[in-house]
Structure 1
Amino acid sequence: MTMPRVSRDLLLGSLPPVPPVSAGDVVRAQEASGMRPVYVVLDDDPTGTQSVAGLPVLTSWEVGDFAWAFETGAPAVYVMVNSRSLAPEDAERVNREAVAAALEAAEAGGADVAFVSRSDSTLRGHFPLEPNTIAECLRSATGARADGIVVVPAFGDAGRITVHGTHYAGDPREGYLPVGETEFARDATFGYAASNLAEWVEEKTGGAVPASDVLVLDIETLRTDLDGAVALLTSACDARPIVVDAVEEEDLRQLALALIRAERAGSRFIYRVGPPFVRARVGQAVHAPLTPEEIEASRAGREVAVGGLVVVGSHVDLTTRQLAELRARRRPLELEIDVAKAVNPSSRGPHLAELIDAAAAGLKKGDVAVRTSRTLVTGADADDSLAISRKVSAAVVETVKGVLARATPRFVVAKGGITSSDVASKGLGIRRATVVGPMLPGIVSLWSGQDGPAAGIPYIVFAGNVGTASSLADVVDKLAWREGQLAQPADELA
């Protein structure tokens, strides 16, 4: 039985006014505190960059990579550990590796670092494993103990809001559902039942942390009593979970002001958050969607093919609808990675070779969309499902590498979190990049690769679960803009 959606007016109508906090207010408060940490964001897939601009991104986490990032002087650096696609033991390993390398580089460069575990705004991922791993690594390496694990999944640009401790997904037009009632909660690997964040913490910790032990920073306190918010934050000890209400960007900035005061008082936190938290925490203004001119400038004069490459790995219903709109509007050459053939050793090679040939030829005429089968293939259990996902992702990577060896796409769009990470680091060979900015308001980021064969090719990281049905086609339209006009689909140029 489907639950009725709650209207935005009903959900938010009785709340106190949004606090008038600007990005500049956060910057000034941080400067006045005398503390200037660099936030090392361990991102469990690359879609977390969609809310920020002008920050360095790493797909590798050796000490030298962090040294490069710290030398930019940026207030935060994103590290694509891609742990959501990994088994728990591997997720723990990559988090440990990244923390150790970041601490070593920070010590050598004289930087003060704090850690953010960026994950899905619809609560999928390795929690509490990842923030607990970071806390243990810090304690072991430096003796510093985390007082609180601050949990802030809110992502207003994508319709994820938290009110009175309950996390919702939806949009202002159609209304909101408690996130535990959405398709995201039925994830084959990271499924859950609770929508109330305190209860979700209890569920995900297997009862080790009862909901009654979770601190809740409610929106009334956050908006009307900054002293009270600071008092709640500073009361935490022994890595106690703190879940936070947030609806608007100003709520996150108000939280940033409270955190600055709490940290100046001596509290130490590790953050488990959705995409916009870092933007608010470092005092970065919301970046307007990139213009065609800005996109063209990111190519740095590199010669490219007529068409761009769209790679679709996500299976959520929204992605399927977005793909249908792209098909209707842009009419790309559409190629399918058959999952059954891709996971079968005997059929894999010939199948992918055929796709690569067709895609490389197609880019000479227009856009090409390479997608995995729309029927989701799952295993007998969560581990088996992850193993199948990794095999499919490896097939996507092999296809992209093969295409790039034959042609230089005008752009590359990767749809889906795991897909985006693997296409960037393995398919395109990007090790270090810069987030240029968002393609749509608050969502969908463009990276400019700083190295590897894809340097100068606009790379678009597009989460599977954000936007409207038209968003993918809108992004491709903007990427296809040439010399003051929208390039027509290939069949209209024939």
Structure 2
Amino acid sequence: MNTISSTEKRLVKDVFDNIPAVDVNVVNDMLEKELLDLNKKIIVLDDDPTGVQTVHGISVYTDWSVDSIEKGFNEENSMFFLLTNSRGFTAAETEKAHKEIASNALEVAKKLDKDFIIISRGDSTLRGHYPLETKVLMETIESGSDIKFDGEVILPFFKEGGRFTVDNIHYVQYEDYLVPAGETEFAKDRTFGFTKSHLGEWVEEKSNGEFKAENTTYISLESLRALDVETITNQLLEVTDFNKVVVNAVDYVDVKVFTIALVKAIKSGKHFMFRSAAAFTKIIGGVSDKGLLTRAELVDEESNHGGLILVGSHVKKTTEQLEELKKCDFIEFIEFDVHLVLHPEKFEAEVDRIIEACENFVRSGKTVAVYTRRERLDLGENKQEEELKLSVKISDAVTSIVQRIKVRPRYIVAKGGITSSDIGTRGLEVKRATVAGQIKPGIPVWFTGEESKFPGITYIIFPGNVGAKTTLKEAVEILDNK
């Protein structure tokens, strides 16, 4: 492929038409054979609950205690998730959490005499505490064991969300175009912003020059589509000094071919850390494909209560999806004026008002949607930490709706990563949930555990930046049989 500018958007058709096809059945057979004797427990650290958006039949633990990690190790499944919610943490909080996770995982692994792989599942648009999280994991594991990490794999491909890496540039799909990630609204994130779309340059930018684009290993689409497993394996065998490996991918088959080579390199004694989106976890975890969930699998028909929808995310896509949802005449809508967070007494009264209204609607059989005021709370320049703290207070208030509501909704939908995490862990008090599958591509569903506030409730975790304008409306229509 020709070298292109990392700031240039491209027509999807122009890019995809030039990529050769490959025999997926051959790849599947090779992958299955390679994974058979990998014999390592895969621990996925999820910085918000949307990381399970490609899997099913997998456990999610909402803490990282030794007890929870040991339960995960003792499962038959090769993989389990630990929900960290670290995208809502300060840098100091995420450092502390990742030291604890790595130490506890080492303790359990030594006790059970079982090897493990840690995957740091981050946002497919490159936001989050990177490189802090994987650096802390690497340092903690190396200091507590004889493991030495050779490199770190960067794999943000996520087909369901339209995130593709081509010519080492990560793209976000907007309808017919692929837009370099550094040119999108996600790159302007006030807490986790970046400017580079070329993943080697992104690593250099995020690491403040500690790791260089020129020292990065690039796994090309040409090698992947040629099934040149030997060349890719050799590339991986040569990685040292925790340098980065960027994986190009436009489809799951690319991740599969890479994983075949990766497992061969691991079996040869190489150790890698991983920063990936949700697609890689499905492949290395050996999770089968599963169709989208149906209404019959999701809703208790005997309940005559309404559903509860909570919309927190402020990305443009969420706001567009909310506007479409408002076309549903079977839903009652309540705007939550979160700017009152600056006036504590008024804020408390606002929360009380919303909870009372939600209870009344749900009990009467009406589905209710609470959405946070769409204008961002802006405190001005260099106030990121203060804004993050206020956003946590707002998230706490949204969570308190679920904590305090006394009537059981027929289902709960949470829109936005931090929103859905807080509602799951603190609102519903989930310790362990099972991922049932997806209601729409990239939109996972939990069935909550027996310990939770509403045991066995259908909980839909709707990422802020996934789906078309109508996807939220379509998902709710499935749940409400409209």
Give the TM interval when normalised to the shorter protein. Answer: over 0.9
Letter in 2 for 1:402: R
1:26 match? 31
Q: 2:304 & 2:103 partners in 1: Cα distance?
A: 41
* Cα pair 1:23 1:280 within 8 Å, conserved: no
Unaligned runs of 5+ in 2: 1-6
Letter in 2 for 1:467: G
Q: Please report how far the alpha carbon of residue 69 of structure 1 lies from its aligned counterpart in structure 2 after TM superposition.
A: 2.1
SS at the partner of 1:320?
A: helix
Q: Please report how far the alpha carbon of residue 285 of structure 1 lies from its aligned counterpart in structure 2 after TM superposition.
A: 2.3
Q: 1:5 & 1:199 partners in 2: Cα distance?
A: 18
Question: Against the structure 1 CA distance between its residues 235 and 4, is the aligned structure 2 distance closer, same or farther, given a 3 Å change threshold?
Answer: closer
Q: Please report how far the alpha carbon of residue 395 of structure 1 lies from its aligned counterpart in structure 2 after TM superposition.
A: 0.9
* Cα pair 1:57 1:434 within 8 Å, conserved: yes
1:154 match? 157
2:97 match? 94
Q: 1:123 & 1:227 partners in 2: Cα distance?
A: 29
Summarize deviations over 1:222-247 as a string: whole Å, max 9, x none: 22121111111111112111111001
1:11 match? 15
Q: 2:404 & 2:83 partners in 1: Cα distance?
A: 23
2:53 match? 50
Q: Taking every aligned residue pair, what percent have the same amino acid on both sides?
A: 35
Q: Please report how far the alpha carbon of residue 426 of structure 1 lies from its aligned counterpart in structure 2 after TM superposition.
A: 0.6
Q: 1:19 & 1:94 partners in 2: Cα distance?
A: 42
Q: 1:73 & 1:287 partners in 2: Cα distance?
A: 19
Q: Please report how far the alpha carbon of residue 18 of structure 1 lies from its aligned counterpart in structure 2 after TM superposition.
A: 3.5
TM-score (norm 2): 0.94
SS at the partner of 2:327?
A: helix
* Cα pair 2:298 2:458 within 8 Å, conserved: yes
How do 1:188-207 residues align onto structure 2 when only pairs under 5 Å count? Answer: 188-207=190-209
Q: 2:356 & 2:268 partners in 1: Cα distance?
A: 61
Letter in 2 for 1:411: Y
* Cα pair 1:44 1:80 within 8 Å, conserved: yes
Q: Please report how far the alpha carbon of residue 346 of structure 1 lies from its aligned counterpart in structure 2 after TM superposition.
A: 2.1
Q: Does 1:329 align with 2:328?
A: yes
Q: 1:449 & 1:60 partners in 2: Cα distance?
A: 15
Unaligned runs of 5+ in 1: 487-494
Q: Please report how far the alpha carbon of residue 141 of structure 1 lies from its aligned counterpart in structure 2 after TM superposition.
A: 1.3
Q: 1:94 & 1:19 partners in 2: Cα distance?
A: 42
* Cα pair 1:18 1:248 within 8 Å, conserved: no
SS at the partner of 1:193?
A: coil
* Cα pair 1:19 1:223 within 8 Å, conserved: no
1:216 match? 218
* Cα pair 1:307 1:409 within 8 Å, conserved: yes
Question: Against the structure 1 CA distance between its residues 471 and 282, is the aligned structure 2 distance closer, same or farther, given a 3 Å change threshold?
Answer: same
2:409 match? 409
2:235 match? 232
Question: Against the structure 1 CA distance between its residues 23 and 423, is the aligned structure 2 distance closer, same or farther, given a 3 Å change threshold?
Answer: farther
SS at the partner of 2:20?
A: coil
Q: 2:52 & 2:276 partners in 1: Cα distance?
A: 12
1:119 match? 122
2:187 match? 185
Letter in 1 for 2:33: R
* Cα pair 1:343 1:392 within 8 Å, conserved: no
SS at the partner of 1:425?
A: helix
1:355 match? 354
1:466 match? 466
Q: 1:132 & 1:367 partners in 2: Cα distance?
A: 44
How do 1:201-350 residues align onto structure 2 when only pairs under 5 Å count? Answer: 201-224=203-226, 225-296=228-299, 304-350=303-349
Q: 198-207 or 64-73: which moved more?
A: 64-73
Q: 1:84 & 1:305 partners in 2: Cα distance?
A: 36
Letter in 2 for 1:142: S
SS at the partner of 1:79?
A: strand
* Cα pair 2:168 2:246 within 8 Å, conserved: yes
Summarize deviations over 1:274-313 as a string: whole Å, max 9, x none: 11111011222222111122224xx6x9x64521111111
Q: Please report how far the alpha carbon of residue 107 of structure 1 lies from its aligned counterpart in structure 2 after TM superposition.
A: 2.8
1:384 match? 386
RMSD, aligned CA = 1.7
2:3 match? none
Q: 1:196 & 1:118 partners in 2: Cα distance?
A: 20
1:491 match? none
1:489 match? none
Q: 122-131 or 108-117: which moved more?
A: 108-117
* Cα pair 1:40 1:79 within 8 Å, conserved: yes
* Cα pair 1:378 1:384 within 8 Å, conserved: no
Question: Against the structure 1 CA distance between its residues 378 and 74, is the aligned structure 2 distance closer, same or farther, given a 3 Å change threshold?
Answer: farther
SS at the partner of 1:39?
A: strand
SS at the partner of 1:391?
A: helix
Q: 2:23 & 2:393 partners in 1: Cα distance?
A: 47
* Cα pair 1:150 1:243 within 8 Å, conserved: yes
Summarize deviations over 1:57-114 as a string: whole Å, max 9, x none: 0111111112222222111111110111111111111111122222222333343211
Question: Against the structure 1 CA distance between its residues 4 and 367, is the aligned structure 2 distance closer, same or farther, given a 3 Å change threshold?
Answer: farther
* Cα pair 2:13 2:176 within 8 Å, conserved: no
Q: Please report how far the alpha carbon of residue 334 of structure 1 lies from its aligned counterpart in structure 2 after TM superposition.
A: 1.2
Q: 1:433 & 1:22 partners in 2: Cα distance?
A: 32
Q: 52-61 or 65-74: which moved more?
A: 65-74
* Cα pair 2:341 2:390 within 8 Å, conserved: no
* Cα pair 1:312 1:416 within 8 Å, conserved: yes
* Cα pair 2:303 2:410 within 8 Å, conserved: yes
Letter in 2 for 1:387: K
Summarize deviations over 1:187-227 as a string: whole Å, max 9, x none: 11111110100000011011121211111111112221211
2:452 match? 452
2:40 match? 37
SS at the partner of 1:138?
A: helix
Q: 1:387 & 1:214 partners in 2: Cα distance?
A: 35
SS at the partner of 1:135?
A: helix
Matched positions, count = 470
Q: 138-147 or 462-471: which moved more?
A: 138-147
Q: 2:9 & 2:263 partners in 1: Cα distance?
A: 36
Question: Against the structure 1 CA distance between its residues 456 and 248, is the aligned structure 2 distance closer, same or farther, given a 3 Å change threshold?
Answer: same
Q: 2:220 & 2:149 partners in 1: Cα distance?
A: 22
SS at the partner of 2:107?
A: helix
Question: Against the structure 1 CA distance between its residues 257 and 360, is the aligned structure 2 distance closer, same or farther, given a 3 Å change threshold?
Answer: same
Q: 1:40 & 1:201 partners in 2: Cα distance?
A: 23
Question: Against the structure 1 CA distance between its residues 102 and 23, is the aligned structure 2 distance closer, same or farther, given a 3 Å change threshold?
Answer: farther
Question: Against the structure 1 CA distance between its residues 344 and 18, is the aligned structure 2 distance closer, same or farther, given a 3 Å change threshold?
Answer: farther
* Cα pair 1:160 1:168 within 8 Å, conserved: yes
* Cα pair 2:321 2:470 within 8 Å, conserved: yes
Q: 2:320 & 2:358 partners in 1: Cα distance?
A: 22
Letter in 1 for 2:114: A
